[in-house]
A and B are shown apart, each in its own frame.
Chain A
Amino acid sequence: MKITTEMVDYISVLSRLKLPQEEKEQMTGELERIIGYMDTLNALDTGGVEPMSHVFPVKNVLREDQVVPSFDRAELLKNAPKADEEAFLVPKTVE
């Protein structure tokens, strides 16, 4: 299938990526080759085959709700690129 730079622009927005022009053009060609190869699967008739997300029949793993202390806030904030004593800091989003 043909992959256009417009399609790459669209999935880049969805992925929160902003590729520079040159990188975008290269990526477009690479994705077209890779996706073209994935079209191999079209040779297989999968009519009536259930999509399989997990190979083992494990579902709805439940446990009793337990009240336990949450992680130490200061410990978690230590890893943030920008934080004050109580929160992660980001640019203002609501005027």
Chain B
Amino acid sequence: MKEILNLTALQLGAAIRKGEVSPVEATRAALEQIEARKADNAFTALTAETALRRAKAVGKKIAAGELTAPLAGVPLSIKDNICTKGVSTTCASKILTGFEPPYDATLVEKLDALGAVPLGKLNMDEFAMGSTTETSFYGPTHNPWDAGRVPGGSSGGAAAAVAARSCWYAIGSDTGGSIRQPAAYCGVTGIKPTYGTVSRYGLIAYASSLDQMGPLARDAADCAAVLDAVMGKDPRDGTSLDVPAGGLLAGLTGDVRGMKIGIPADCFGDGLDPEVMKSVLAVADVLKARGAELVEFTFPVMEYVVPTYYIIAAAEASSNLSRFDGVKYGWRAEGYEDLTDLYSKTRTEGFGAEVKRRILLGTFVLSSGYYDAYYKKALQVKGLIKQAFDDAFGKCDLMLTPVAPTTAPKIGESLSDPLQMYLSDIYTVSVNLAGLPGLSMPCGFDSKGMPIGAQLIGPALGEAKVLNAAHAFQLDTDYHKQSPVEKEAR
């Protein structure tokens, strides 16, 4: 493997600006690595020629001093539910086969403007519905640490590609943990920022009130650099927040003296793998050694977060996915009798089982007679969950929790029992319900050699604190520097 593949995105960006590496060399190295790691099935589409052309053009602009951003010239990959103009965007679903968006997502435009080099589109659970990347129409992505295990999901391709050193960073989306959980399973760092801080324009909607895009990268500093580039108010997304953006990278001091780290006892109880528990709690010790204070308290809503999340997410999905009907874009079934039959046939044959399950579930909880008992009830409980977080952040600056109850399960173990799969999202979904920033970072390995992730949750707009605490942890540890590729080579 080429040396430059082991650099962080910021290190590569610095090397490019100094003229030590050209964006074309970096792009070639990444494309070769993607080819070498083909069996991971992390990508749904590659844009090699466009990437090389773009790398060349960007290289000239950097040399001329026209592009100066920390990530200028650094290749990345993008999850397949984010619109990229003229480049296949399928949400890993049969129903969007052949869809080439006529526009770029705002986030893609912003990365384009700073001189980023997109390599291709990343595999995912179909329409981001799943926790393993096994519901993809294009087949499962394999975990680079153990090909027999899942990379997590739904941004499984993104986490696998970053872990396998196939790109320096990736853009994922997170509706209930879809950035954080695969980051944990693959041993990379990922952050879901506060709801509304990154424009959702061009992100194909799953559950609009919960969806948010964010980076998966080698470390917290790279994540900060990506967020600095993509956050900000966008007139094309009415839910985007009009708050100051940027300055996250500059704010990484590693100084956590006096910071209060909250440890919610209810997140360290039954159902949590003992090896995961030990590694996550060890994060608290590292931060304490740097001067942080630890605060323990109860967080008495944990048993309600999964049902609340799945009611709300399914309800919104059933509405959002009604646009896929075989008329305006994507795939259409054959042999229909009339218009209604065209819709039904296309949707029945075009969606996979998990997507259909969530559409039906969402339709049920919104249907007359059940709306109050399920959907309205869930919105009320969401209020209680938000209140529980408000109470918690009255006692601490950040919360430390696991990302998932276990490390990555084996391929084929999860899909047979959907409810069991939903339950594994227990530590991540509440963060989306409350709109908060949540980061996942590597904090150890289990006895099978699989990465363990720890989650840091901040109050609304607390990205700077979350990233700084993660940065502090990464200054004193090297879990984030380990790679499955080097492990294989040894």
Interfacial residues, chain A to chain B (CB-CB below 8 A): 7-8, 10-12, 14-19, 23, 27, 30-31, 33-35, 37-38, 40-42, 44, 46, 49-56, 58, 61, 63, 71-72, 75-76, 78-82, 88, 90-91, 93
How long is the Cα–Cα vector from A61 to B199 in the complex, in angstroms? 14
B383 x A31 contact (CB < 8 A): no
Question: Which residues of B line the A interface, CB within 8 A?
Answer: 98-100, 102-103, 195-196, 209, 235, 238-239, 241, 303-304, 306-308, 310-311, 318, 322, 325-332, 336-340, 342-345, 347-348, 351, 353, 356-357, 359-361, 363-365, 367, 373-374, 376-384, 386, 418-419, 422, 433-435, 460
Contact A34 B419 (CB under 8 A): yes
A17-B344, A38-B374 are contacts. A12–B360 as well, Cβ < 8 Å? yes
Q: Identify which of A31, A41, A46, A76 gathers the most chain B CB atoms within 10 Å of its CB.
A: A41
Least CB separation from A81: chain B residue: B332
Q: Most B CB atoms within 10 A — which of A31, A46, A93?
A: A46
Residues of A within 8 A of B196 (CB): 56, 58
- With contacts A41-B378, A90-B342, A91-B342 taken as known, whether A52 is within 8 angstroms of B386 at the C-beta atoms is yes
CA of A23 to CA of B360 in the docked complex: distance in angstroms?
13
A56 near B339: Cβ-Cβ < 8 Å: no
CB pair B380 A88 closer than 8 Å: no
A16-B344, A41-B308 known; A11 vs B363 contact (CB < 8 Å): yes
Q: Is the interface of A mostly helix, strand, loop or mixed?
A: loop
The minimal Cβ–Cβ distance linking B232 to chain A, given in whole angstroms, is: 15
Q: SS class of chain B's interface: helix, strand, loop or mixed?
A: helix
Is B329 touching A80 in the complex (CB atoms < 8 A)? yes
In the assembled complex, how far is the CB of residue A23 from the closest CB belonging to chain B, in whole angstroms? 8
| Residue numbers in B under 8 Å from A53 (CB-CB) | 209, 379
| Complex interface: chain B residues within 8 A of A8 (CB) | 360
* Other-chain residue from A37, A52, A79 in contact with B382 (beta carbon distance below 8 A): A52
Q: How far is the CA of A94 from the CA of B435 in the complex (A)?
A: 46
| Interchain nearest-CB distance for A10 vs B (Å) | 8
Closest residue on chain A to residue B312 by CB atoms: A53
Are B338 and A16 in contact, with the CB atoms below 8 A? no
Whether A50 pairs with B377 at a CB distance below 8 angstroms is no
Partner of B339, one of A42, A54, A82, A90: A90
> Distance in Å from the Cβ of B342 to the closest Cβ of chain A?
6
The answer for the CA separation of A78 and B88 in the assembled complex, in Å, is: 13
Q: Which B residues lie within 8 Å of A41 (CB)?
A: 304, 307-308, 311, 374, 377-378, 381
Nearest residue (CB) in A for B101 is A79
Residues of B within 8 A of A27 (CB): 356-357, 360
**Residues of B with C-beta under 8 A to A40:** 303-304, 307
CB-defined contacts of A71 to chain B, threshold 8 Å: 102-103
Bound CA–CA A35/B310 (angstroms): 10
Residues from chain A with Cβ under 8 Å of B308 in the complex:
41
Closest to B194 in A: A56
Return A66 CB to nearest CB of chain B, in Å.
10
In Å, the complex CA distance between A49 and B385 comes to: 12
Of all chain A residues, which has the CB nearest B434?
A55
Q: How far is the CB of B403 from chain A (nearest CB, A)?
A: 21
Report which of A11, A23, A54, A75 forms a contact with B102, defined as CB distance below 8 A.
Answer: A75
Give bound CA distance, A88 to B343, whole Å: 14
B360 contacts A17, C-beta separation under 8 Å: yes
Q: Which of A33, A49, A51, A55 has the most CB of B within 10 A?
A: A55
**Is the CB–CB distance between A14 and B367 below 8 Å?**
yes
B418 contacts A55, C-beta separation under 8 Å: no
- CA–CA, A31 and B408, complex, Å: 26
Alpha-carbon distance between A12 and B377 when the two chains are bound, in angstroms:
23
| Contacts known (A49-B383, A91-B338); A33 close to B419, Cβ less than 8 A | yes
- Contact A49-B384, Cβ < 8 Å, known A55-B195, A56-B241, A91-B336: yes
Interchain CA distance A19-B347 in the complex, whole Å: 10
Residue of B nearest to A75 (CB): B102
* B319 CB to nearest A CB, Å: 10
Residue of B nearest to A3 (CB): B364
Set of chain B residues within 8 Å of A15, measured between Cβ atoms: 318, 347, 356, 359-360, 363
For B238, the chain A residues whose CB sits under 8 A away are: 58, 61
Contact among B329, B337, B356, B373 for A79, CB-based, below 8 A: B329
Chain B residues within an 8 Å CB radius of A33: 419
| Contact (A79, B330) CB under 8 Å given A31-B360, A34-B419, A38-B310 | yes
Q: How many angstroms from the CA of A46 to the CA of B328 in the assembled complex?
A: 42
- Can you spell out 23 A-B residue pairs with CB atoms less than 8 angstroms apart? A10-B367, A15-B347, A15-B356, A15-B359, A16-B340, A16-B344, A23-B353, A35-B374, A38-B310, A38-B374, A40-B303, A49-B383, A55-B382, A55-B435, A55-B460, A56-B195, A56-B196, A58-B196, A61-B238, A79-B329, A80-B327, A81-B329, A82-B332
